[in-house]
Amino acid sequence: MLEYLMEISTVNYNRYKVFVALYETGSMIKAAEKLACTQPTITYNIRDLETELGVTLFHCHPRGVDPTEDGKILYEKIKHALTIIAEAEESVKTFNEKSGGTIRLGCPSYICSTMILDFIIDFNNKYPNIQIELYNMLKKDLNEMLHNRKIDIVLDAWVENTINEDKKEHPNFSYETLCALPYSFIASKELLKNNKLSETPTAKELSSLPFIKSDNRLSRQLFSLLGDKLKFAYAYPLSDTTFRMVEKGLAASFACDNYIDSTNVLNNIVKIKPEGFDFPKYELVVVYNSDHMSKAGRAFSKALHTFFLS
């Protein structure tokens, strides 16, 4: 047992931090900048680690370094361990307005631009030393990044009562509802006029229009309520592109009311809620991996709740 403890005590955590920084940046200069140290410090730590392990970890070339096969194996074995150690260190530090850190936030662009931009500005004013990295992607991509610990928080729309289904796939995720998200169908005045429809069409009349197809749970549920004979003129554009296509009268679609109200600058788009049509209930939900939520992330999540309740 004593030998085992002595063996553990010789592990140099800083050397491995330097190794990971150099591996991920591929450059002595960038690794030194990332760790706020000198290039000789990077060189000495890598040399000592290679001597300790008895292997070569990097090949040098004029543009930087490339990992050897041994370097690749070592990186895959230790990268998660170092992440866990860094998160453990951060979790016990006192968090206040002077605290620093990085919050990696994933959310669709329409939510970011129309619902939380003011919040992010306020949060940055309160915590000026915290950097926020934004990732605008589809939900499935954000969930994968959250699972792989490449982002800290996901903010997205969920169909009410479907969170339990997602929990089966991601049991380590925590889901917290912030607010309800009203949705409407959208079509241009020109498209309605060309199809001899009023600006308050029924669901049946609306289903005669060409639609823009989206491949997600929200759209599948919504389109199924309109019937199985919908005509899809276009498929899978991003939200901003979808809105511009609707604005030009190419097809109809649906969107969050907040996004419609803030984006419809030309007032050419009609927000449609057919009488008697029951829209599925959508919610704005914050999701995080409960296994590695940092103090900065918890402060961000708490502030989100306060923002939406005010």
Digit-coded pLDDT (tens) for 164-199: 777 777 888 888 888 888 889 999 999 999 999 999
DSSP state letters, 59-71 = EEETTEEEE-HHH
The token pair at 263 is: 């984006």
Measure the CA–CA gap between 246 and 252, rounded to whole angstroms.
6
The whole-angstrom separation of Cα 96 and Cα 128 is 11
Token pair belonging to 287: 């999701």
**Domain CATH for 176:** 3.40.190.10
Contacts of 34 (CB under 8 A, 6+ apart): 21, 25
**Which residues, in sequence order, are bridge partners of residue 132?**
103
State how far Cα 54 lies from the chain centre.
Answer: 40
The continuous run of DSSP H or E covering 245 comes out as: helix 239-247
Domain match, 288 and 274 both: no
Q: Specify the residue for token string 């140290």.
A: 37
- CATH number of the domain to which 86 belongs: 1.10.10.10
User: Does residue 228 sit in helix, strand or coil?
Assistant: coil
- 264 residue type, one letter: N
How many residues are recorded in the chain? 310
Q: Which residues of the chain have pLDDT under 70?
A: 1-10, 87-99, 161, 215, 265-266, 310
| 270-296 per-position pLDDT tens digit | 999 998 888 888 888 999 887 777 777
Q: What is the pLDDT of residue 63?
A: 87
Same domain? For 21 and 33 the reply is yes
What is d(CA 232, CA 226) in angstroms, rounded to the nearest whole number?
13
User: What local confidence, expressed as pLDDT, does residue 55 receive?
Assistant: 94
In a domain, 96, yes or no: no
Which residue is associated with the tokens 């899978």?
236
Residues 6+ apart with CB under 8 A from 284: 111, 115, 155, 156, 157, 177, 178, 179, 180, 181, 308
Q: Is residue 33 part of a domain?
A: yes
Q: Do 176 and 108 belong to one domain?
A: yes
What whole-number distance in Å separates Cα of residue 295 and Cα of residue 236? 37
Q: Are residues 85 and 227 in the same domain?
A: no
Structural domains in the chain (count):
3
Spatial distance between the Cα atoms of 5 and 249, rounded to a whole number of angstroms: 71
Query: Rounded to an integer, what distance in angstroms lies between the CA atom of residue 226 and that of residue 91?
Result: 48
Asked if residue 176 and residue 134 are part of one domain, the reply reads yes
Q: What pLDDT is recorded for position 71?
A: 93
Residues spanned by the domain of 211: 183-278
Q: What type of residue sits at position 71?
A: G
Question: CA distances (Å), 59 to each of 69, 74, 254, 267, in order?
Answer: 10, 15, 53, 60
- The answer to whether residues 17 and 77 belong to one domain is yes
Which among 27, 57, 91 is the end of a domain?
91
- Picking from 71, 91, 111, the residue at the C-terminal end of a domain is 91
Q: 178: which DSSP letter?
A: E
